[in-house]
Structure 1
């Protein structure tokens, strides 16, 4: 399998290529800090990555992307690029939660814990968050993804905080989150990566969780934001 993954949900612009055709899983990734430059940088990064790997778009089996939540503009840019690439090469698309990718990125970085709280600053005095369990085949969502006030983080969850890791920019509201001091650690500087999206997308692809390019949608978690194809 060859799978291309893209993410623009945060200030980073990240692309990765997963290849396990030779029996060994290999993932190469390129990430740039590209705040407000996603439109200019995303496709050149894709072209460069594929050229360096000697892989043509037609050789891919699927394209994955960070579906959100995250930056509204970044999500639109990423999905527009994915739809264009997937339509042109007649490829299926694998949407992956950016909160899940954030949790998986933490695992990849060696921050192991039974449970991982994944958070993103949603602006407007709110945070996106979800709880994930660490599994051998990739993180698994516990309950649902949420958009709440910082004070409502972990509402409805009962966790052993002493063995729980939190990640992401929700830490910006740490002084308003009562559980912060009880957590094992909080790694605020970790961003979702295309490598993590590729890993989770591989699992979903093998389970048949794909869609056509025109059916792929971003996840905003804010009802008033609408996507127009």
Structure 2
């Protein structure tokens, strides 16, 4: 099975082709302000590198976050558009799960894993995982200090993600990899609704009712 994997849940713009679980081409560029400009050129680049046409894809997997609103939308809208145009399934997966899967694939852990990424507003997104990769807790958004208070009860031996530094643990994978994204996708099941994991309300809100001007 040939799968296109995309993720824009972090400042990294990731596109990769995974054939039967093996990454055959990958492009990662980091610019938190240029997800929209970088993603499709990255898709075209990995297809060219692998000598693959888009029509040969069997599925698309996309990181559904948690992540900042604008960047996350770029990846998910692109994945949905490609799936619709090519008539192939699109699977949304938790981006933190994908990071954990990549860490576990590199070698067995002796305890639990913390995956933590930047949520902005002086907060982080995080989830905790067993040594085999099963999620124990989260995903959650809160301040780093609030997370530190939880650490003693999580029995952690390692951390991963873009905000993994600063928690006193050995640091592994930083961003979702194509192989990690595909590893946690239920490729042999019908895809569910493609829904982003924002974990909080966006800054933008509909305007309220206009105030009446007294005459």
TM-score bin, normalised by smaller chain: 0.7 to 0.9
Q: Secondary structure at the match of 2:43?
A: helix
Whole-angstrom distance in 1 between the partners of 2:43 and 2:50: 11
Deviation at 1:131, TM superposition (A): 0.6
Checking the alignment, whether the CA contact within 8 Å between 2:108 and 2:131 is kept in structure 1 is no
Give the one of 17, 22, 28 matched to 1:26. Answer: 22
Q: Report what 1:130 is aligned to.
A: 127
The aligned residue for residue 161 of structure 2 is 168
Residue in 2 that maps onto 1:223? 201
1:205 aligned to 2:187? yes
- Is the Cα contact below 8 Å between 2:60 and 2:79 reproduced in 1? yes
Give how far 1:85 is off. Answer: 0.4
Q: CA deviation at 1:197?
A: 0.7
Under a length normalisation based on structure 1, what TM-score does the superposition of the two structures give?
0.77
Q: What runs of 5+ residues in structure 1 fail to find an aligned partner?
A: 175-179
Aligned length: 202
Q: Judge conservation of contact 1:16–1:198 (CA < 8 Å) in 2.
A: no
Cα distance in 2 for partners of 1:210, 1:186 equals 32
Q: Which runs of 5+ in 2 are unaligned?
A: 205-215
Q: Residue 15 of structure 1 aligns with which residue?
A: 15
Runs of 4+ in 1 over 6 A off after TM superposition: none
Deviations 1:81-133 (A, max 9, x none): 11110110111111111111222233355584431100012121221111112
Indicate the residue corresponding to 2:178 in structure 1. 194
Give the root-mean-square deviation of aligned CA atoms: 2.5
Whole-Å Cα distance in 1 between the matches of residues 60 and 164 of structure 2?
Answer: 31
Distance in structure 2 (CA, Å) of the matches to 1:193 and 1:170: 16
Check 1:89–1:12 CA distance in 2 against 1; reply closer, same or farther (3 A cut): same
Q: Going by fraction, where is helix more abundant, 1 or 2?
A: 1
Aligned to 2:141, which of 135, 147, 157?
147
TM-score with structure 2 length normalisation?
A: 0.82
Structure 1 residue 200, shift from structure 2 partner: 1.9
Alignment of 1:59-208 (within 5 A): 59-108=56-105, 112-135=109-132, 139-153=133-147, 155=150, 158-161=153-156, 164-171=157-164, 174=166, 180-181=167-168, 183=169, 185-187=170-172, 190-201=174-185, 204-206=186-188, 208=189
* Matches of 2:106 and 2:190, distance apart in 1: 26
Residue matched to 1:177: none
Distance 1:225 1:194 in 2: 30
